[in-house]
Structure 1
């Protein structure tokens, strides 16, 4: 995988602290020249409103840098949270990592 493609696999809860960790990781990827960033959420058990705000801010940061952000492997609670906030169309959401890999092949 080239530096233009980066994957982040956070674990646990996305709250203020978890969101800050993700933001830091994404900033590092952008500094390395990433153009496609995947946040694989398979190991996330919960996201609160602060976490949702962090993910939105990360999406805005990535777009401002001319890169693309993808989310994958959202468990039901995360998907519902995005839908309730009417944010599911704000993100590129993929079912899993394999879908991201296929996207890159095209």
Structure 2
């Protein structure tokens, strides 16, 4: 199961400038055949609406390919953005990568 999980570690800002690279990462991962994509926000300090839009697009793209998108380690600013837009109800969010791994191991 482990090889079917791909981790994307983001850092800095997720905005209009960096979201294109994120979308390219998603395209590359789709071609690899992963079943779960974990986006690690540990080093992300800021995300704007463009970044959120890129995440939603990635979610839809991956779901269409029967691949799950999950998030972990979001900071306070990003968490508030998710709550204000109700995206915290759409995305499965784990407190850390370790927490995700524990759930993954317990489900296999």
Distance 1:53 1:98 in 2: 26
The TM-score normalised by the length of structure 1 is 0.94
> Which ranges of structure 2 fall in alignment gaps of 5 or more residues?
none
Pairwise CA distance, 1:81: 0.3
The TM-score normalised by the length of structure 2 is 0.93
Aligned residues: 105
Distance 2:31 2:55 in 1: 18
Pairwise CA distance, 1:23: 1.3
Distance 2:27 2:8 in 1: 11
> Which ranges of structure 1 fall in alignment gaps of 5 or more residues?
none
Query: Runs ≥4 in structure 1, deviation > 2 angstroms?
Result: none
Structure 2 residue 44 is matched with structure 1 residue 13: no
Distance 1:73 1:30 in 2: 23
